[in-house]
Chain A
Amino acid sequence: MSQQTVQLGWSREQMAQRCAQDIKDGSYVNLGIGIPEKVAQYVPAGREVIYHTENGLLGMGTEPSAEELDPDLINAGKKPVTAIDGAAYFHHGDSFAMIRGKHIDICVLGAMQVSEQGDLANWSTGAPDAIPAVGGAMDLVAGVKTIYIITQHTTKTGAAKILPECTFPLTGQGVVNRIYSDLAVIDVTEKGLVLIELAPNISFDYVQQKTGVSLINALKQE
């Protein structure tokens, strides 16, 4: 970064990097398609984390080399992956028993909208001409113990994505625990949404302006 540049907020990579700090040693983790996938590369050294992919693998490794590539070894996004030493394969019934049965510790997903109560909408805009496709998102939010969301704070047109109520069809009700946006880290609590961390050179007031609901500022000096 040049000295003239003033960084405003977090990049997509930095959002993944920030989220990765909260993945504890020994966790079983499911990463959604897209930015959440990047979290794996930023988990601090020394922590042993097992990645679950819902199409039947615990112990997902990195991208394969050309020699390692096997079209029968893919992740939920249908991209080729590898299996680590100590990995296990299983069928879809068992895979979703792991999810629904609350055996997976953390799932990181993207979002279209999140509500004040932690409702999540991330599978459909409800447009009448769109072909609906849900995949495993509803099972993950219903069953995984902790749900982290990585998302831009607003839409491309600047509209708030964190709202009093989701206007898009829900993926799950009251399921989100923490939001990592390009502007801040926000916890969903019984008292409301609590801002616990600001991205570089971002003020609380600025985040509040871009959010559809009142935020509680945990950084405020009493």
Chain B
Amino acid sequence: MIDKRVTSCAAAVAKIKDGDTVMIGGFGEAGSPIELIHALIDHGAKNLTVVNNNTGSGRVGLAALIENGQVAKMICSYPRTANSTVFPELYHAGKIELELVPQGTLAERIRAGGAGVPAFYTPTSVGTPLAAGKESRTFEEQEYVMERAIKADFALIQAKQADRYGNLTFNKTARNFAPIMAMAATHTLVQTNEMVELGEIDPENVITPGIFVNQIVEVSNPLQESTLVKEGVVYP
């Protein structure tokens, strides 16, 4: 029997080790798996490399994970956002490393990681400081930069619906990086707003097929990052 359901976020994140690379879904708060991130804070794994488009806001979710000293390096496209103070302070103090990647290159590096493609050529960043030191090649009279795939030990993502095989649907723009991160990680952990029976998701409407998912926990009323930030909540 295939049953990827687990009963708690703590059980889902239990195998994350010090030094692991962890992809975290979300674009700002949309799609951020905040309960799984908080479980990772409780779990305590350190020296992590985290892949996310941003660096979190306020002192909850991803920002709290960084503030708790668990992240050695961020791979992201836009580390500054409104209400983002934790990352800038640590960055200026030299306490956290940053690998800045154009957003589309970040997405394609993740997609490539999940698709068995070790590297690819892209027109993005040619002639800019972000292409410095990278291999380049000319195809049909245009220059391209070589970019390497990114893989991860774990991906933490949020879904709208999941069944026990791990088939997933998402809500609107909360989908963002989740499907490609699910493909690029050895272990994909999902928090879903709703667990449904097999067959309830029409196969035509499955966005992430269950083969890319390892463990699922139901969190029916997830916390909303912007609400917590407004209330000044600090996690833990």
Contact = CB atoms under 8 A, between A and B. Distances in A.
Given A99-B104, A100-B123, A132-B100, A74 B177 contact: no
Nearest to A93: B111
Contact of A100 (B78, B79, B124, B128): B124
B103 A129 contact: no
B178 A72 contact: no
Interface stretch (B40-48, B61-69, B166-174): B166-174
Interface string B105-124: 11110110000000000111
B129 interface: yes
Range of interface residues on chain B?
35 or more
Contact of B177 (A92, A134, A170): A92
Given A78-B81, A133-B79, A100 B104 contact: yes
B186 interface: no
B124 A56 contact: no
A52 to B, nearest CB: 12
Interface stretch (B10-18, B23-31, B213-221): B23-31
Interface string A68-79: 001111100010
Given A93-B108, A93-B179, A138-B128, A56 B103 contact: no
Contact of B123 (A132, A137, A143): A143
B176 interface: yes
Contacts of B107: 91-93, 95-96
B102 A138 contact: yes
A89 B173 contact: yes
A172 B125 CA distance: 6
A55 interface: yes
A57 B173 contact: yes
B127 A172 contact: yes
Contacts of A70: 171-172
Contacts of B172: 57, 70, 72-73, 83, 89
A73 B102 contact: no
A183 B178 CA distance: 44
B79 A131 contact: yes
A194 interface: no
A135 interface: yes
A91 B175 contact: yes
Contacts of A83: 172
Range of interface residues on chain A?
35 or more
Contacts of B179: 91, 93
B224 interface: yes
Contact of B130 (A93, A119, A129, A138): A138
A101 B129 CA distance: 23
A93 B184 CA distance: 12
A172 B128 contact: yes
B47 to A, nearest CB: 22
Interface of A: 53-57, 70-74, 78, 83, 89-93, 95-96, 99-100, 119, 124, 129, 131-139, 142-143, 169-173
28 contacts: A53-B173, A57-B172, A72-B174, A74-B173, A78-B81, A83-B172, A89-B173, A91-B179, A92-B103, A93-B108, A93-B111, A93-B180, A96-B107, A124-B129, A131-B87, A131-B92, A132-B100, A133-B78, A135-B103, A136-B104, A138-B125, A139-B104, A139-B124, A142-B122, A171-B128, A172-B128, A173-B127, A173-B128
| 10 cross-chain pairs, A with B, having the tightest CB-CB distances, nearest first | A139-B104, A96-B104, A173-B127, A92-B107, A72-B174, A136-B103, A93-B111, A138-B102, A78-B28, A142-B123
